[in-house]
Amino acid sequence: MQSQRCKPSIRRRLRLWTAVLLSAQLAVSGGTASAEPAASDPGKDAAARKELRQMYNRIAVMTGLPWENVAALDRYERTLSRAHPKTRPLRPNALVGVYVPPERWSGYLNPDPEDTNPVSIRVFHGVGRDGSGDGIADRNNDLDLLYSVARQVRQQGPTSDDFAIGLWEYYQNTRAVQRILQFSKIYETFGKLDLNKHVFPLPVGTDYSYRSTWGNSRGWGGTRIHEGTDIFADYGVPVRSTSYGIVEVKGWNPYGGWRIGIRDLDNLYHYYAHLSGFDKSLKPNDVVRPGQIIGWVGSSGYGRPGTQGKFPPHLHYGVYRDRGLVEWAFDPYPLLRKWERNELKALKVHK
């Protein structure tokens, strides 16, 4: 980038850096921040996970879809509901995250949008089916919901290409297709639903400092407002994936430098920028686990590929929530504090 805005004089840069580091040290020693509000997520409770897994297996047998496809479909639906709580209300005591609007369930021309009769729903081309075996197609029943959507998607055929086409037919949205295929691959890789562990992006106990830099115009991030947290550390400190996930983007970006983007099962996009280098074996579409080293702290960016040193070395860490058609950044600082605290606690226990 040629912009002068990106090239503050050395003196000014040093002044900024000193100010940032000083306030970082102050901020870390005090104050607490609350994490994102917790949403109902059966994936976080062992008993609920077990029951969910049984449902996925059952729907897999009924439809011929692999269980990880059923799980991914359900997971994606849950993340949409989390992003749109008003238009996709959560059902009380629901295990399954699938939401189908009444008119889609019953059929658009069905005079009864709350129809639960599988025969009339079929006549009106609604997606609602009976998956639980009680003769009723109930929009509020976990098995009916899961079966109805899985069956609809499975109609294209048995191969993985057919699955992708079925997803496209159902969602009419390439992002939805990409997400569900990504989630499927994560579930397939680990073979379980218990994939909620998170860690701090740098090894806890190494020398680093950070503070809340959300919206701060002085941050080095590459967007107008600073969408993320800068974690200052020396060149070469390992950068680790904070979550289970799948590599979505890897390479050079004029602002972010060498950066890597990882999608997790909460449909969050974790963005790690200004790296000095990557783990060479990592490729887009590779699955990662929390704590896995993905690269090293650097100062790349603000120039042609390979540019380093236009600012002090740090990790720029951003998190974006996929809302279906657009993505929104939110402040990762509270999450970072939480993950760091949890790891410090675990370290003490093991001493």
Binding site for Zn ion (CB under 5 A): 219-221, 230, 316
- Least distance to Zn ion, CB of residue 256, Å: 9
Tokens 């069905």 correspond to 110
Nearer to Zn ion, 183 or 333 (CB): 333
* Number of Cβ within a 10 Å radius of residue 117: 16
Nearer to Zn ion, 187 or 220 (CB): 220
Phi, psi of 238 (to 5 degrees): -65, 140
Residue 163 tokens, joined = 């699955």
The β-bridge partners of 275 are 258
SS3 assignment, position 165:
helix
Cα–Cα distance, 329 to 319 (Å, whole number): 6
Cα–Cα distance, 90 to 78 (Å, whole number): 9
Nearer to Zn ion, 158 or 215 (CB): 215
Cα–Cα distance, 301 to 273 (Å, whole number): 8
Cα–Cα distance, 243 to 280 (Å, whole number): 19
- Least distance to Zn ion, CB of residue 318, Å: 8
Which residues in 295-315 are b (16+ Cβ under 10 Å) and which e? bbbbbbbbbeeebbebbbbbb
Nearer to Zn ion, 131 or 221 (CB): 221
The β-bridge partners of 296 are 238, 277
Nearer to Zn ion, 221 or 257 (CB): 221
- Least distance to Zn ion, CB of residue 88, Å: 33
- Least distance to Zn ion, CB of residue 136, Å: 53
- Least distance to Zn ion, CB of residue 192, Å: 34
- Least distance to Zn ion, CB of residue 314, Å: 7
Q: Are 297 and 258 in contact (CB under 8 A)?
A: no
- Least distance to Zn ion, CB of residue 106, Å: 49
Nearer to Zn ion, 110 or 212 (CB): 212
Helix (H) or strand (E) holding 316: strand 314-322
Q: What is the DSSP letter of 288?
A: E
Nearer to Zn ion, 115 or 230 (CB): 230
Q: Are 239 and 202 in contact (CB under 8 A)?
A: yes
- Least distance to Zn ion, CB of residue 78, Å: 30
Q: What's the start-to-end Cα distance of the chain, in Å?
A: 48
* Number of Cβ within a 10 Å radius of residue 346: 11
Nearer to Zn ion, 244 or 271 (CB): 271
